[in-house]
Structure 1
Amino acid sequence: MEEEASRQLAEFLDHLRYEKRASPHTVDNYARDLEQFRRFCAAEHIARWAEAEPYQIRQHMADRHRLELSGRTLARELSALRSFYDFLLRRQAVERNPAKGIRAPKTGRSLPHTLDVDELASLLDTPAANTLEVRDLAMWELFYSSGLRLSELVALDLEDIDWSAQSVRIRHGKGDKARVVPVGRHARSALERWLEARAALPVAAEAALFVGDKGQRLSPRTVQARLERWRKRCGFDKHLHPHMLRHSFASHLLESSGDLRAVQELLGHSDISTTQIYTHVDFQRLAAVYDQAHPRAKKRP
């Protein structure tokens, strides 16, 4: 494609980063999605973004669908194209948005995987053997106590913990939305132990709440790697990732309270339909109990 097309793509990604304040994860995904479309355009001898027609967008999505990508992935790729063309439209670089009105194939939403209370106790009650494990336990407790996303946890600064209000402030949640969520008693105790241990590290002027042994802010990959290490230590057979602790927070809270709106607010979901997935998780648990306990539901041996 023309050099101008590459410049416009780079400007759009900068727009996402600095004006929309999209998360690095979103920017990376959109960059990959649009790069796929640019390769398609090159193969179709489309030199400028304005030359793409709706039927070619459909052809591109059909090609992607044949690769057996999930409906969620295809929907995100279409969202990237629509956002990009809306950006070009505002800049008067194109006359219309060829991706508008094109729909991705629907797919069933998979239920989130959670840990039960005993599994969480096995993880959270494991004694820490060193400073980094004290930090790790504080992170796992905070994930489960407050339902944080991984990106939210690593972005926390020391000042974001309000000890008097027993809460944590998420300054830049998904969609750059801020929220304040409670921090439970066990999580506060774990954080106090971590801050005491943190004081002995070469943190200098680092504002991050969670740092490595050299005083640097933790990356998401480091947190994931540390949790995998704890998974092996605790003997879990299932895959364990930070979002599973957030899922467990939501599922257990909804199970105990039944307050869907409150859980929505705590999770920072803009749409309650996103939160409703946890009602299905709870129903699955109830259905399993029913199958095991009801005299007319039990399977014959």
Structure 2
Amino acid sequence: MAIRPYWRDPTRFQIDFYPVDSKTRKRTVLPPGITKKTAIEIEKDLCSAKKNNQPRLSVSATVNELFRDYLAYSKNYLAPSTIKDVEMVFNNSISKILGDFRAEDLNRQHMNSYIKIRSKIKYRNRPPKNKTMLREMRYVSAFITWCRENIRGFRNTDFSLPKLKVIKPKPIILTFEEAIKLIVSANQLTRTWLLVITDGILRKSEASNLTWPDIDFERKTIKVIQKGGEENIKPITDITITEINKLSRRTKFVFQSPVKKAPAPLRDLRGSIEAARKKAGIEKRVYPHLLRHSMSTLFLEAGGDLRTLQGILGHSDIKMTEWYTQIMVEQKRKQLNNLGLDRALTKALEEQKNNDN
């Protein structure tokens, strides 16, 4: 659950939660005048109401016997997509490798064995990555935590997860020229959508949820609702204002689906983005969030500071913003390698050594 300001009226609070026996998230918007302290008390009442539904299970049960109850209990709290992923992992891996062991006996050695066996189970002729196995083991860790909290007498102090090295992929960004070519090559609706993302350095959801009252044409700013329900005012350029004015204002959302009175879904824009990529002659894989990464990196390369970029991106922790400095280092290393300085110096030193001999 989470308490956050109501996006339509920041003076009010809303509580997001998954009620008992429900697969969909519910939102409770509190009436005006409720303080943050009272909202926290209401959230505690919802938590205590859920805890009254805790199951009573046996300590000596196996993982297979308990995991189904864990899934049924977790449906009240986790998102449906997460529940679906946990069920798939349990059926394909956890039940086959750890299912016959008592849950109370699981320890680090069991998880090491899980890694050895799981690494041999291939999907599409490919072994699983460490990132995938780490996610699956975290599901087991959450299951053990649930057992400790819900099964009387359950004692498992030896359980821990082994460390796995996760290799992050090398960052790929678009150059300024590639971003311009992509935007120009798209159709009117997709071009404006990509331009808003690029100009405001927005997330795709922030651009899609824009309504006409969110745009201040006189001050040339847009108001976006970021993660956590916080508002952020961002400046936009004249060309973005010009392109937005070409769209119809008869809709609620700036980028609205022609079928429903809702933001245009990303699947309707993917085909247009792919067509624009091919038309622009870009060989890199292009997706909307790539523009956010690219413009953030270009902002730092142009002399912008991290604190300003943190405010633009809406990051709560500056460590998240520092990730873009790593992209800058990789880009500079790639550009230096393209210059051939290393190869030229190596060749010159070899020639000098031969001449000295």
Compute the TM-score of the two structures, normalised by the length of structure 1.
0.72
Deviation (angstroms), 1:109:
2.0
Tell me by how many angstroms 1:15 deviates: 0.9
Count of residue pairs the alignment pairs up: 274
Q: Say if 2:131 is the partner of 1:72.
A: yes
1:260 lines up with 2:295 in the alignment: no
**CA-to-partner distance for each residue in 1:16-44, whole Å, 9 max, x for gaps?**
33xxxxxxxxx535632453134434325
- Check conservation: 2:70, 2:143, Cα contact below 8 A: no
Partner of 1:213: 258
CA distances 1:134-184 after superposition (whole Å, capped 9, x unpaired): 221121112212333334444x1416724257133224x2xx463525142
Instruction: Supply the distance in 2 between the matched residues of 1:280 and 1:59 (Cα, whole angstroms).
Output: 35
Structure 1: gaps (5+ residues): 18-26
Cα distance between partner residues in 2 of 1:53 and 1:274: 35
Q: Could you report, residue by residue, the CA deviation over 1:218-247 in whole angstroms, capped at 9, with x for unpaired residues?
A: 223333333112212322222211121111
- Asked whether the 8 Å contact 2:215–2:222 carries over to 1, the reply is yes
CA contact (8 A) 1:169 1:179 kept: yes
One of 143, 149, 156 as aligned partner of 2:203: 149
Q: Which amino acid aligns with 1:267?
A: L
Higher relative contact order (CA 8 A, sep 6+): 1
Tell me the TM-score normalised to structure 2 length. Answer: 0.62
Residue 123 of structure 1: CA displacement? 1.8
- Which residue does 2:234 correspond to in 1? 182
Match of 1:114 among 173, 194, 215: 173
Contact kept, 8 Å, 2:210 with 2:253, in 1: the verdict is yes
Distance 2:142 2:213 in 1: 32
* Contact residue 146 and residue 249 of structure 1 kept, 8 A: no
Q: How far 1:278 sits from its partner (Å)?
A: 2.0
User: Structure 1 residues 76 and 260, CA, compared in 2 at 3 Å: closer, same or farther?
Assistant: farther
Match among 141, 154, 162 for residue 82 of structure 1: 141
Query: Partner amino acid for 1:192?
Result: N
- Structure with greater strand percent: 2
Q: Larger C-alpha radius of gyration, 1 or 2?
A: 2
What is the distance in 1 between the residues matched to 2:188 and 2:334? 36
Q: Which residue of 2 aligns with 1:21?
A: none
User: C-alpha distance in 1, partners of 2:333/2:98?
Assistant: 55
Inter-partner Cα distance in structure 2 for 1:146 and 1:251: 14
CA contact (8 A) 2:67 2:143 kept: no
Alignment of 1:8-47 (within 5 A): 8-17=70-79, 28=81, 31-44=84-97, 46=99
Residue 104 of structure 2 contacts residue 155 of structure 2 at CA under 8 Å; is this kept in 1? no
More helix by share: 1
Query: Identity of counterpart residues, as a percentage?
Result: 20
Distance 1:168 1:284, change over 3 A: same
In the alignment, the residues of structure 2 paired with residue 136 and residue 73 of structure 1 have an alpha-carbon distance, to the nearest angstrom, of: 34
